[in-house]
Structure 1
């Protein structure tokens, strides 16, 4: 029989998030909905009046209140939909607020163009006006967008297409999470296991190689059957980004994405070059994994397999909670007390259920507590995921506690730093508690896996995006064959000859949702590299490093991201932090290889 997931209604409420800090019920959400349109009209009434500092300040205050309400409504609907992507209620709420969000943004799209249509001398005087002191950086950033801003009519037209531009991501997400059905995977004992987006990594982490292979074959058979649709949705998303960049006079879609965070192109290029310099270390890790698993051939479905002594290790959620709290102790009592509250106050939706969105994420709004979705399965990786998402949520908590709403959301570029600091502190804490060679090998492997997944793999994704967008900018077709071949070539480059490259791997690009948010994945790798430097500093230097780090978490978007990282002690204008992180990978790999030799493996 197949192991089926429980329905949402049958789950234990204590392990489900409490969304009441947003809305107590769907009915309360529906009651709040009618208050949205009047607020849109109040803000829209400023059209044609944004000619001085006073009117611009009044508009910003009105639009901020509107955006806070929109955020609450949108986030609640998104979280409800994530609970069960099959449920009509969540889908309806999400579709309704998504449409209202797009229309609201279209109504207010005049503002940027109207402000930037002012003569530059007058605009610079407005930026300096004390009335706009609270919005000074936002105004300076707006001024930098002048050459990329269209006329008010053109901006409104583009904004009205927002829902259409977002359709490829929504279509692919609905297809993958709600509509695609995969064949059950049979294990070595003849038992069937349900394969889904949320269960796949758990199955790939099984000690049963036949189950891993069958789950792999099942998943990618499903993707092969839908590859034309998925190629079409992704190609449309890429062309949308490329066309938008061209219309807005950016040199490329990558430049458009990076300029939003004030990141120079060289940071992206430095990342790819640094990882390629350290490819031999990844090939060594592939060889070590093959040796430890005792395999004649290492296949792609073996990359998440537990190592010797790892398969029996499983953790309860309560154990995971204690492990996370112990790990983050170096960050101080305030940080730890808030994390305790997160566990006690049901910030977290813990276990998988039928229809639940796969993976994990952190969410929430300025008014709400942060929320975390996980699909906890009891593995060390699941524990690490809780630590990771808690890092995101604590970053949000600190920023929202110290910044006004318009600076409370941290930027995309630093989004993965706090999450990875927590992951690294977890592994280092566990390593510090054991001298058992097999346990240490398991933990060192988790460290190596984090590097593999977050630096090497995400850089491979970043290079895939770079190539694909460049092809689109050159007018080349992004058909399934092109996308599959591009991805397969990169798999060969990044993992080397020691890995048997199963043909079905070429479809993996189609299941990466982050590709629909162009040039996002590289920040995982730069963020991880920054986090290595920060976590090493916290462990080495103690209180001074912690103080700088908590300052960094508290900044939100009140400074540009590279400046925030410099304050914390990391300078990404140079490749040095990237090389240092990859050297840490090599050090951990050295230790793992030495233990393997001592154990005779």
Structure 2
């Protein structure tokens, strides 16, 4: 069975996993050829943990012991990652399959168990004097691989607890993950959305995967119906979801307090050695430039020809009579063309990902919503999509492949200990891909209406990634501060905070519909505290880097690829400086917002 290219437009009932053709599924057997081999690794991990426990109390005896423990820890961590990621991705294929729910739970339980057993390491290492550690580094050549890792421990020494306390925290890991896991099951498996009548007066079930496509519809009634249908489902779950978010924030505040941080925000940023000023500067700079967003909303209202601009009108392309359907094969072709400025080697790896089972393409019953790049040090950097043949989905493909190629380069050029990159830089590579693709499309598109459509999409990237994610960041800051000040989080005050922020960020020309008060309830990123601001800072950095790549050519490309190869071998601020942008200043944010203002100017002229 081969799906037609515009299958997801025509398919009214979501397919079961078994009915999706194999060439549109990722090949997880590259991680484990069978579930039995997965079980074998669990046994191996437990054996290695027993071996590791022989080092307890002996890390400071000699350089050889310290290296041996660190090396064995890496081996254990690699296997745990394989065990966890494989089970998680199998579950994400279809959240209703109880076997993979159980495997995912088992993998998470194993990770907590191992973390608890190995929690002696960090406290024991920091109990070794700095002078002795530096002597060990001189004595043992192999240990020098861990120089940056050990420097990081010394930097964070005041926030690392005793061996016994760290063990207790490690044992709490599974409980601490409960709010996120409960929300995930509600959001991906249990919540059900009503059906609506589509443009052809056919009943179609609303899904998270189809939602944006409905909001892009030229039929305003479809947009409104989809909007109301989606949020009606969350309204019914508001008390439960408010409770999960409340306890997720309490978990963040608890960990910050016990680790002697002044706030949950400081605790979150300290891992990347990011100054608090970077977070605050982002919010302040964006809020100083809301006039451009207000102008864009006024422009959108005029272009759509509506008396009132509602929240369900924000995704409708403002260029009339454009049906820009981009089947998956065409999306791959355009992404490849757009990324050619990154050089031959980059394109070869991109094609490898397209052709060798990295990508899970289409939505199916029970599949986790959205898109991500995921994998391990030894596996392909897989990509999950829920492709719907829209321009949005084409850019999503470019975005997620940016993550995956960043992982590919990092894993190839860095040892395991530095093979991962921090979340602060994670959105840079993905957004560089989107920016380069957009520049390619604007340059090669001759049709005026299609070009305006793309410009509108570019404006939407700014709205969604800089303005909207900054609004999310402000929401996170407010709700964490409320709990830190002893206030409660209820469905009512969460909704009130969220509505007020929408009013501030969208301005006087947008009707803030009552349903939007529940949007906070469907954002999974809020369960990964202070993550979303990195979309905005990453986007700002990416705009600067993409312009350098296009203007400076090979020199800029080499610096950029070195950044991708750097993994986690240095602090993210330093890695980005090496690539050519300084995120300790507001310059990249101002630069991005200037591009946004210029696009608004151009669209105003084209639509006048």
Worse-superposed segment, 179-188 or 319-328: 179-188
Q: Give the counterpart of 2:63 among 53, 57, 72.
A: 53
Question: 1:312: Cα distance to partner?
Answer: 1.4
Paired residue secondary structure (2:373): strand
Q: Tell me, in whole angstroms, the C-alpha distance in 1 between the residues paired with 2:50 and 2:496.
A: 50
Paired residue secondary structure (1:86): coil
Question: 1:33: Cα distance to partner?
Answer: 2.6
Q: Tell me, in whole angstroms, the C-alpha distance in 1 between the residues paired with 2:306 and 2:114.
A: 57
Q: Tell me, in whole angstroms, the C-alpha distance in 2 between the residues paired with 1:123 and 1:30.
A: 38
Equivalent in the alignment of 1:111: 121
Equivalent in the alignment of 2:7: none
Aligned CA distance change for structure 1 residues 339 and 310 (closer, same or farther; 3 Å): farther
CA contact (8 A) 1:127 1:140 kept: no
Paired residue secondary structure (1:432): helix
Paired residue secondary structure (2:383): strand
1:9 lines up with 2:10 in the alignment? no
Question: 1:306: Cα distance to partner?
Answer: 2.6
1:448 lines up with 2:469 in the alignment? no
1:329 lines up with 2:340 in the alignment? yes
The residue correspondences of 1:32-71 to structure 2 (distance < 5 A) are 32-51=41-60, 52-71=62-81
Q: Tell me, in whole angstroms, the C-alpha distance in 2 between the residues paired with 1:311 and 1:65.
A: 53
Question: 1:551: Cα distance to partner?
Answer: 0.4
Question: 1:311: Cα distance to partner?
Answer: 4.5
Q: Tell me, in whole angstroms, the C-alpha distance in 2 between the residues paired with 1:42 and 1:265.
A: 41
Paired residue secondary structure (1:337): helix
Question: 1:2: Cα distance to partner?
Answer: 9.5
Aligned CA distance change for structure 1 residues 208 and 27 (closer, same or farther; 3 Å): farther
Worse-superposed segment, 185-194 or 435-444: 185-194
Equivalent in the alignment of 1:530: 541
Q: Tell me, in whole angstroms, the C-alpha distance in 1 between the residues paired with 2:39 and 2:13.
A: 33
Aligned CA distance change for structure 1 residues 310 and 349 (closer, same or farther; 3 Å): farther
Question: 1:119: Cα distance to partner?
Answer: 3.5
Q: Tell me, in whole angstroms, the C-alpha distance in 1 between the residues paired with 2:54 and 2:497.
A: 49
CA contact (8 A) 2:245 2:527 kept: yes
CA contact (8 A) 1:36 1:66 kept: yes
Equivalent in the alignment of 2:4: none
CA contact (8 A) 1:415 1:527 kept: yes
The residue correspondences of 1:579-590 to structure 2 (distance < 5 A) are 579-590=590-601
Question: 1:288: Cα distance to partner?
Answer: 1.4
1:75 lines up with 2:58 in the alignment? no
CA contact (8 A) 2:338 2:440 kept: yes
The residue correspondences of 1:513-524 to structure 2 (distance < 5 A) are 513-524=524-535
**1:232-291 CA distances to partner (integer Å, 9 max, x unpaired)?**
111101111111111110111100110100100010011001101110101111111122
Equivalent in the alignment of 2:398: 387
Could you tell me which runs of 5 or more consecutive residues in structure 1 were left unpaired when the two chains were aligned.
none
Equivalent in the alignment of 1:171: 182
**1:344-393 CA distances to partner (integer Å, 9 max, x unpaired)?**
11211011111111110001111111100011111111000000000000
1:417 lines up with 2:425 in the alignment? no
CA contact (8 A) 2:465 2:539 kept: yes
**1:7-39 CA distances to partner (integer Å, 9 max, x unpaired)?**
000001101111122112323323333222101
CA contact (8 A) 1:2 1:191 kept: no
Equivalent in the alignment of 2:104: 94
Q: Tell me, in whole angstroms, the C-alpha distance in 2 between the residues paired with 1:91 and 1:310.
A: 45
Equivalent in the alignment of 2:40: 31
CA contact (8 A) 1:198 1:357 kept: no
**1:422-476 CA distances to partner (integer Å, 9 max, x unpaired)?**
0011111011012322111101011111111100000000000111111111011
Paired residue secondary structure (1:346): coil
Equivalent in the alignment of 2:231: 220
Q: Give the counterpart of 1:348 among 340, 359, 368.
A: 359
CA contact (8 A) 2:49 2:117 kept: yes
Superposition TM-score, scaled by structure 2 size: 0.96
Equivalent in the alignment of 1:135: 146
The residue correspondences of 1:182-581 to structure 2 (distance < 5 A) are 182-309=193-320, 311-581=322-592
Q: Tell me, in whole angstroms, the C-alpha distance in 2 between the residues paired with 1:127 and 1:141.
A: 14
Question: 1:92: Cα distance to partner?
Answer: 1.2
CA contact (8 A) 1:102 1:163 kept: yes
Q: Tell me, in whole angstroms, the C-alpha distance in 2 between the residues paired with 1:91 and 1:205.
A: 34
Aligned CA distance change for structure 1 residues 197 and 121 (closer, same or farther; 3 Å): same
CA contact (8 A) 1:310 1:442 kept: no
Question: 1:214: Cα distance to partner?
Answer: 1.1
Q: Tell me, in whole angstroms, the C-alpha distance in 1 between the residues paired with 2:261 and 2:116.
A: 22
Question: 1:44: Cα distance to partner?
Answer: 2.5
Q: Tell me, in whole angstroms, the C-alpha distance in 1 between the residues paired with 2:313 and 2:364.
A: 26
Equivalent in the alignment of 1:152: 163
Question: 1:127: Cα distance to partner?
Answer: 5.4
Paired residue secondary structure (1:475): coil
**1:81-138 CA distances to partner (integer Å, 9 max, x unpaired)?**
1111111122111011110111101110111111112344434544555442100000
CA contact (8 A) 1:2 1:184 kept: no
Worse-superposed segment, 424-433 or 17-26: 17-26
CA contact (8 A) 1:441 1:596 kept: no
Q: How many equivalent pairs are there?
A: 597
